[in-house]
Structures are given as structure tokens and as C-alpha cells.
Amino acid sequence: MKGNIFYAQSGGVTPVINATAYGLIEEYFKNKKFFGAFYAGKNGILGALNEELIDISSEKKSELKLLKQTPGGAFGSCRLKLKSYTSSKKEFERIYDVFKAHNIKYFFYNGGGDSQDTTNKISKFFQSRRYPIVCIGLPKTIDNDLPITHCCPGFGSVAKYIATSTLEASLDVKSMSQTSTKVFILEVMGRHAGWLAASAGIIKEKPGDPPHLILFPEIEFNQGKFLKKVKDVIKNYGYCVIVASEGIKSKNKFISDSGLRDSFGHAQLGGVAPVLSNMITAKLNIKVHWAVSDYLQRSARHIGSKVDIEQAYMLGKTGIEYAKKGISDVMLTIKKKNNSKQLQWKVSHTSLGKVANIEKMLPKNFIKANGYEISKSCLNYISELSKGEDYPSFINGIPRYANLQCKTIKKKIKKFKL
Amino acid sequence: MKGNIFYAQSGGVTPVINATAYGLIEEYFKNKKFFGAFYAGKNGILGALNEELIDISSEKKSELKLLKQTPGGAFGSCRLKLKSYTSSKKEFERIYDVFKAHNIKYFFYNGGGDSQDTTNKISKFFQSRRYPIVCIGLPKTIDNDLPITHCCPGFGSVAKYIATSTLEASLDVKSMSQTSTKVFILEVMGRHAGWLAASAGIIKEKPGDPPHLILFPEIEFNQGKFLKKVKDVIKNYGYCVIVASEGIKSKNKFISDSGLRDSFGHAQLGGVAPVLSNMITAKLNIKVHWAVSDYLQRSARHIGSKVDIEQAYMLGKTGIEYAKKGISDVMLTIKKKNNSKQLQWKVSHTSLGKVANIEKMLPKNFIKANGYEISKSCLNYISELSKGEDYPSFINGIPRYANLQCKTIKKKIKKFKL
């Protein structure tokens, strides 16, 4: 009896995670004589816990094909981290029961650092039970903070979005700066790592070009130095463009956690950009505009990077090859070919244990000594990943994204309470 | 002696105002035997006041061509409204002196309602001086709030950006909603008119589709009703997408002016989205993500609408035709051809006096009775304007936008102090 596949999406989604899903699905259909059914977990690993399995074969092939150009997580994602077996015994046993009931012999988990940790734990647990299952982690995170892999699918596209948006908004604020707004601030994601903030830097060709200041989470924020720099930039160039990472800190305290309170006394949530805007207006008396792109950046498939989409897709396809060969306990990686001037890459792999729970920060030599700009090597690294356009198809002016039914199959075992 | 042209960009810029500039410039080069020089004002009408005139012929033709795909205001814009002759006598006289010194016989002013008012005043003033000059207003505003014209250049592209971004972020929050964020709020521009907020509505095909709530400035905001609606939507569909206009009010007070104060006691500036987010989290205890796209929406030429770009460009080209014919004292308009099912349009004109200082709000029948959705006729209107793609060219993953020198010509008269 051929083993079935269980695939799930995990953590914060990306513009290209569905391209990885489609790589798997397309390659699976080509290898149907080797595999049983292909199930996708509804809402990530929750799909296993709740025995909510979506049978891919019940979806229209034409819609599945659109996955390659569709952002978000088409099968639903979740934020749920499995602890050790001792602490999460119920969950591990439940996953065992569900996988056994549905003859799951291949487990693909598509996520970031936490998810690779979960894949690793599940793999080890099934090994201890002598249940043969291939466990493969597929990388995904716009934060680009997974170790070993050259880059993470999702990053290149979001980098392209941030670079393009910064360039466009810079032209806007530059036009307005003579009589009105002189400062524009864009807040970007990236958690503790400055990769996304750095990506705005690839639009700078010469001194004076925007972005004038990038605020990295790797560099401690210093209000006095920052305000002086803003003032100098405006004096020299007439306007100032700032790209700030959501994770910047001053004295180990997040800047976004600045104690803002609304008129009801509720603490205000999030937003580095409005805090910086306030600071500039209050101290320098300058008109500021600010944007927080939030999910817009994370889902901007309409301006996806061709390289990034191809990598995400190839990771999925290669996943099926690995499964056929029975290679388990690994996360697939992007490996840069040696000494290639232009980025040449292939899919490779590393042991799951090596990636779980390790965050890769922006290297020191990727930030210029002034602490506000990226180095040439950083620019080269990011440019290679955000290169090339791969537009989705449009209908009536709007992108045509996949519309899946996501019907779950009949349950075989009794209900589980989380 | 052939008369010279003075063209200037005014007010908040758009993704397509440079396409109008390019339409003018291209047509001007075809008609050089008819006109003298083509000057662009540096920073809008300030260019006239400061005698800062950019001679188009000193720019590279290849860069000028890129104007059609470049956002922002390539010659600089300004926010400066001329009052009556009595109050702004100095400015009117100065413009007269500069235009006379540089033999300006054609004045094109590219802007919104305030700018059309300025064009009208300048036209009337020159008439009173019996100085023969053709004054033509070219419409421009993402807010789409100019009367008489079927639509305003800039709106269709920003509508396309907002609709696409809302669709993409909706797929993201839907994926996350089972275990994490359940609400996504996007704040959009539009001042007192709900056109831009309405544009998110074109992605909705059936009940339950996002956006679930659009907050229009034309409809008074009611906190109780709003929170009940959010709760209901989450109960029924698992997640809730809200698009809020920056201009929404409750009891004649802007929602964004909610009395937020930072830890230094400074009033916090702007941001409807964080205020609504706070409200939902505090009252319903639900995780919310929010985005403020601000200038990103206004400059997103990378996802410009083909219809919109074509209209902006044709307005410029037609401007030169009108000038050749000596038609003055008008604003050019987009006129929808009668009874056409698909949008068919041509450039027409109206008297400047009819458009100055009139804001066109979203018609009542464009908003559904529930106050949170757009009607079918609104959807049709906006869809027609956001149709078609017209991507800029890219180099190394980034759009290639025009890079003008903007050198000003030698001054002929003495300095002026504003």
C-alpha cells in the first residue's frame, strides 16, 4: 500500500509559500504511481491535530496551477509550537494516531525556524516509535533568518516590494519637500533581523540618494544621533527618507513600545513609524509622512521576484524527489554555486537539527560603519534575490489568485481537544 | 516671436502626473515650429515666483520618455494657494513679471481643485492686464474629487493598488486567523471623499468576501455599530478585513484625532488604523494587524492602471492641441462616451470657473444601505478605471524611473521674497 503525503504551512505566510506547495503538488501528480494521496493540513499542524485533511485531488487542477502566483497560505497556517515530548505528549500522540489512521508516510512542513524545530521533534518522535516516515522541512520566511540556506523563500519578493516602494515614495516626498512634507518613514517587518530593512538600500546609487537612513534592529537606536542625522540630511538634500525595522530597540526596549496611550488609557499597540514621526515633529518641527506596510509587504505577490518564486517552486519539486529517495530528517536549502558571479543556485539540504531555533542576523559587514546604510556586499546579495519580474495574471484589473475549496476528508478517529 | 510654455505640477502628486507631463512634452516636440521654449516650473507655481524655470530641451530625450512610467512630480510640486488679487497682490504681480520677462504665452497647471482655482485666478488676472496668454488646467488627483470630469488621473492607478493590496492582505490574514491575527485594517487616503476607500470593494464577488467593512468619510462612524459588525463578521467568516478612509469622523471629529499621547506627552499625529486597531483589541480582545500605506499608495506606479495612464497621457497631448487653437480658461476633462457599455472616453473640457473649489463626494447610490459596502454601480465605475496593466521597465529588480537634471535657466529679473 502506497504511503500518503501530509503537507502543511506554518507561521507567518509569504508571497511565495504557495509556489512551494505547487512545486510539491505538480511533482506529486507526475509521480502518482509512487505515492498514495496528497493531503494538505488545514491550518498547518492543526490540520493533523484536528484530523482536518484536505485532499488535493478534489481541487480543480486549473486552480491548483494558480497557486504558483497566489500569496498567503492557501491551506491556512498556524502559530503553534510543539514543546518537548514530555510537555506536549498529548499532541505528539495525537499526530501519531492521525498519521497512522491515514497511512501518512511523508511529512512536509513548510515554515521558518520554529517550524523546523517542530519538524525535527516530530521526526525524532516517529523514529522512537519505529514508525517509518519521511520528514522534510521546507524553508519559508520573509525575515530571511534561517541559517545554512543561502536565503529563504519569500525574502527576495518582499525585498523587491520594499525597494520598489521606498523608491516610489522617495520620488513622492522629494516632490513635496519644498513647501510641505520633508520626511518619509517606512516601517518594515523582519523581527530581530535587519534583512528586510536592508533591502530598501538596494535603490541607492550615490550619496544623497534615498533611503538616507536605515534603522536596523542589529544597531542600538540612539535618539540624539538619529535626530542630528535627519537634520543634516534635510539640510544637504532637502528631504529625508527613513526605513525602520519594526524590531529596533533603545536600551533593550522596543521603540514601538513607547508607552503610547489613547484617550481611554489603553496602551497603543505597535508602530515604530508613528513613534519616530512624533519624535521628529516634536523635536525638529518638520512635517513627516509615514507608512506601515505590514501584511501588504508580506503578501505583495503582484511584485514578486522571479528568482524568489523559482526557488520556492523548485524547493517543492525537489521535496518530492527527496521523498522518493527516502531522504528524511532534513530541511531543504538553497545552495549558491561556488564562485558564480551572477547568482547560480541549486537545491540542497541540511540536517533539521542544525537549523532549528537559530536566527541568522544581518552580518556585521553588511552594514556600513555609520550604522545607517548597507555595504556593497549586502547590496549585491539582496539584488540577486530580488531580480526578475513574474507577474500574476489579472482579470478586470485585479490579480487572479487561486480559489481552493479546501474540503476536508471524512474523519477516521475520534475528536481531539487541544 | 513664438510664445513660450510654462508647465507646473501642483499639490499632492500621483503615480501618473508625469505621464501628463510627458504627453505635453512629446506633443510639444512635434509642434516646435509653433511654440518657443518649454519650461517647467521648479516646485509648481513656486517656479514662477522664484523665476526657477527648467528648460526641457536640456534634458536627455531618453529620460524624458521615462516620465510616462515615473511616479511623483518630476519637476517638484508645491502646496501654495493664491488668494484673491487684493490679498496676494505681490504674487500675482510677480508671476506677471516673470511670465513677461520669459515671454510665456501658454500656462499649463497640473493639479486638483485648489490648483484649478489658482489657474482660474491667474487667467482672470492676465485678462485684466490684456496680456494674451492661454491658461489651461490639467486635472490630477488620486482623491477623484474634481467635478464635471468623469474621473481624475491618478485615481484609477491608486484604486488598482488599493484593490490589489486589500486582496493580497486578505489572503494573508485569512491564513493566519485560526490561531493568530483575525482582523486586518488598511488605512487609505482620499481626504473628505470616499473614492479610494470604495476602490477596495471591487475585489468582493460574493457575501463573506473581503473587504468586510469599508469605512467611508461620507458615513458617520459609530463605534458600537462598528464593533458589533466586526464581531459578527468574525463569527461568520473567521476573519475580518476593514478598509478605512483617513477622513472618517464621529460627531464631526476626525477619528484619527483621538487624543493619543506618547510618553513625553506629545499628541500623536495621524493614523486612523492604529486607533481602530486599539479599539478592537481593547473591546473585543482580538489580535489585529494594520497597515497605513500613505505615500506608497500615491506613488505605486509599478501597479499603475493602463486606462488611467492612457488618460493622463492623452490629457497632456490634448493640452498642446488646445494651446495651438488658443482655447483658454478651461480645465481639460475626461468625458465618457454616451451609452458605451465598456468605458469609451475622450478628452473634453470645461470652464475653469466651474471646477474651482468644488469637491465631488461619493454619490449616495454608490454606498450600500448598510453603510459598509459599495454598490454594483460603484464597482462598475471603479473597475473600468483600474483595468489593464502597464508595467514600468525594470533594471536589476527595481523599476527604472526618469532621472532628470532639472537645471534652471538664467534669471532675467531680480530676486523675489515670498
**pLDDT reported for residue A412:** 97
At B43, list the grid cell: 516646485
Q: Do residues A313 and A189 both lie within one domain?
A: no
Q: Are A165 and B296 in contact (CB under 8 A)?
A: yes
Asked, for residue A415, whether it belongs to a domain, the answer is no
| A227 and chain B in contact, CB less than 8 A | no
Q: How far is the C-alpha of B284 from the C-alpha of B233, rounded, in Å?
A: 13
Domain interval for residue A324: 4-141+302-358+388-399
Of B251, B267, B298, which residue is a domain's last?
Answer: B298
**pLDDT reported for residue B262:** 52
Mean pLDDT (whole number) for A389-414: 97
Q: Do residues A246 and A353 both lie within one domain?
A: no
For cell 489585529, the residue is B288
**pLDDT reported for residue B81:** 87
Burial of B87 from C-beta contacts in 10 A (0-12 / 13-18 / 19+): exposed
pLDDT at B343 over 90: no
At B315, list the grid cell: 490629457
**pLDDT reported for residue A340:** 67
Cβ atoms < 10 Å from Cβ of A128: 10
Q: Are A23 and A317 in contact (CB under 8 A)?
A: yes
Averaged pLDDT of chain A: 94
Asked, for residue B406, whether it belongs to a domain, the answer is no
Of A117, A143, A145, A308, which residue is the catalytic one?
A143
Q: Phi/psi of residue A342, each to 5°?
A: -80, 150
Asked, for residue A121, whether it belongs to a domain, the answer is yes
ipTM: 0.97
Q: Do residues A97 and A118 both lie within one domain?
A: yes
Q: Do residues B308 and B293 both lie within one domain?
A: no
**pLDDT reported for residue A390:** 98
Cβ atoms < 10 Å from Cβ of A265: 7
Mean pLDDT (whole number) for A72-86: 94
Closest residue in chain A to residue B76, using alpha carbons only: A175
Say whether A260 and B258 touch across the interface (CB within 8 A): no
| B78 and chain A in contact, CB less than 8 A | yes
Q: How far is the C-alpha of A292 from the C-alpha of A316, rounded, in Å?
A: 32
Q: Which of A199-203, A261-265, A383-387 has the lowest mean pLDDT?
A: A261-265
| A285 and chain B in contact, CB less than 8 A | no
Give A 1-40 residues with CB within 8 A of chain B: 9, 12-13, 15
Q: Phi/psi of residue B351, each to 5°?
A: -70, 140
Q: What percent of chain B has pLDDT over 90?
A: 89
List of chain A residues whose C-beta atoms are within 8 Å of the C-beta of residue B296: 165, 168-169, 186, 291, 293, 296
pLDDT tens, position by position, A324-340: 999 999 999 999 997 66
pLDDT at A264 over 70: no
**pLDDT reported for residue A262:** 52
Say whether B169 and A295 touch across the interface (CB within 8 A): yes
pLDDT at A265 over 80: no
* Amino acid letter, residue B110: N
- Number of continuous H segments (helices) and E segments (strands) in chain A: 13, 15
**Nearest alpha-carbon partner for A205 in B396, B340, B63:** B396
**pLDDT reported for residue B270:** 60
Cβ atoms < 10 Å from Cβ of A285: 7
Handedness of CA B84, B85, B91, B96 (dihedral sign): positive
Q: For residue B246, what is the domain's CATH number? A: 3.40.50.460
Of B298, B315, B330, which residue is a domain's last?
Answer: B298
| A319 and chain B in contact, CB less than 8 A | no
Closest residue in chain B to residue A201, using alpha carbons only: B398
pLDDT tens, position by position, A128-183: 999 999 999 999 999 999 999 999 999 999 999 999 999 999 999 999 999 999 99
At A399, list the grid cell: 490579480
Asked, for residue B78, whether it belongs to a domain, the answer is yes
DSSP letters, B80-135, are -----TTTTHHHHHHHHHHHHHTTEEEEEEEESHHHHHHHHHHHHHHHHTT---EE
Q: Are B162 and B196 in contact (CB under 8 A)?
A: yes
**pLDDT reported for residue B394:** 98
pLDDT at A66 over 80: yes
pLDDT at B269 over 70: no
Cα Rg for chain A, rounded, in angstroms?
23
Q: Do residues A217 and A285 both lie within one domain?
A: yes
Asked, for residue B413, whether it belongs to a domain, the answer is no
List of chain A residues whose C-beta atoms are within 8 Å of the C-beta of residue B401: 167, 171
Asked, for residue B317, whether it belongs to a domain, the answer is yes
pLDDT range class, residue B78, cuts 50, 70, 90: very high
Q: How far is the C-alpha of A96 from the C-alpha of B322, rounded, in Å?
A: 77
pLDDT range class, residue A81, cuts 50, 70, 90: confident
**pLDDT reported for residue B356:** 77
For cell 529679473, the residue is B413
List of chain B residues whose C-beta atoms are within 8 Å of the C-beta of residue A15: 168
At A291, list the grid cell: 507608512
Q: Do residues B170 and B135 both lie within one domain?
A: no
* Amino acid letter, residue B320: I
* Amino acid letter, residue B281: T
Active site residue B257: no
**pLDDT reported for residue A260:** 57
Asked, for residue B417, whether it belongs to a domain, the answer is no
**pLDDT reported for residue A1:** 87
Q: Do residues A327 and A282 both lie within one domain?
A: no
Closest residue in chain A to residue B268, using alpha carbons only: A278
At A174, list the grid cell: 522629494
pLDDT at B252 over 90: no
**pLDDT reported for residue A294:** 96
Side-chain-side CA neighbours of A278 within 13 Å: the count stands at 22
Q: Do residues A181 and A278 both lie within one domain?
A: yes
pLDDT range class, residue B39, cuts 50, 70, 90: very high
Say whether B260 and A258 touch across the interface (CB within 8 A): no
Q: Are B7 and B64 in contact (CB under 8 A)?
A: no
Q: Do residues A98 and A179 both lie within one domain?
A: no
Q: Which of B256-270, B299-313, B345-359 has the lowest mean pLDDT?
A: B256-270
Mutate one of B70, B172, B303 to test the A interface: name it (highest A CB count within 10 A): B172
Q: What percent of chain B has pLDDT over 70?
A: 96
Asked, for residue B366, whether it belongs to a domain, the answer is no
Q: Do residues B197 and B231 both lie within one domain?
A: yes
DSSP letters, B215-262, are E-TTS---HHHHHHHHHHHHHHHS-EEEEEETT-EETTEETT-S--B-
Closest residue in chain B to residue A171, using alpha carbons only: B72
Mean pLDDT (whole number) for B188-203: 96
Q: Are A115 and A20 in contact (CB under 8 A)?
A: no
Q: What percent of chain A has pLDDT over 90?
A: 89
| B173 and chain A in contact, CB less than 8 A | yes
Q: Are B109 and B137 in contact (CB under 8 A)?
A: yes
Q: How far is the C-alpha of A15 from the C-alpha of A399, rounded, in Å?
A: 13
Q: Do residues A99 and A214 both lie within one domain?
A: no
Number of domains in chain A: 2
**pLDDT reported for residue A417:** 83
Mean pLDDT (whole number) for A379-396: 97
Closest residue in chain B to residue A382, using alpha carbons only: B397
Q: For residue B114, what is the domain's CATH number? A: 3.40.50.450
Which among B46, B175, B305 is the nearest to A13, CB-wise?
B175
Mean pLDDT (whole number) for A30-59: 98
Contacts of B309 by beta carbon, 8 Å cutoff, 6+ apart: B16, B19, B68, B157, B390
Q: How far is the C-alpha of B206 from the C-alpha of B197, rounded, in Å?
A: 18
The answer to whether the peptide bond before residue A211 is cis (omega within 30 degrees of 0) is yes
Go through chain A and tell me how many residues it has: 418
Q: Are A362 and A216 in contact (CB under 8 A)?
A: yes
pLDDT tens, position by position, A214-240: 999 999 999 999 999 999 999 999 999
3-state secondary structure of A240: strand
Q: How far is the C-alpha of A271 from the C-alpha of A138, rounded, in Å?
A: 31
pLDDT at B342 over 80: no
Q: How far is the C-alpha of B63 from the C-alpha of B393, rounded, in Å?
A: 13
Of B298, B323, B349, which residue is a domain's last?
Answer: B298
pTM for the whole structure: 0.97
- Measure CA of the first residue to CA of the last residue in chain A; give whole Å: 31
Q: Do residues B167 and B99 both lie within one domain?
A: no
List of chain A residues whose C-beta atoms are within 8 Å of the C-beta of residue B278: 262, 266, 268-269
Averaged pLDDT of chain B: 94
Go through chain B and tell me how many residues it has: 418
Mean pLDDT (whole number) for B391-414: 97
Work out the minimum CA distance from B15 to partner chain A, whole angstroms.
9
Give A 37-56 residues with CB within 8 A of chain B: 43-44, 46
**pLDDT reported for residue B418:** 76
Q: What percent of chain A has pLDDT over 70?
A: 96
pLDDT tens, position by position, B229-245: 999 999 999 999 999 99
**Nearest alpha-carbon partner for B168 in A147, A72, A225:** A72
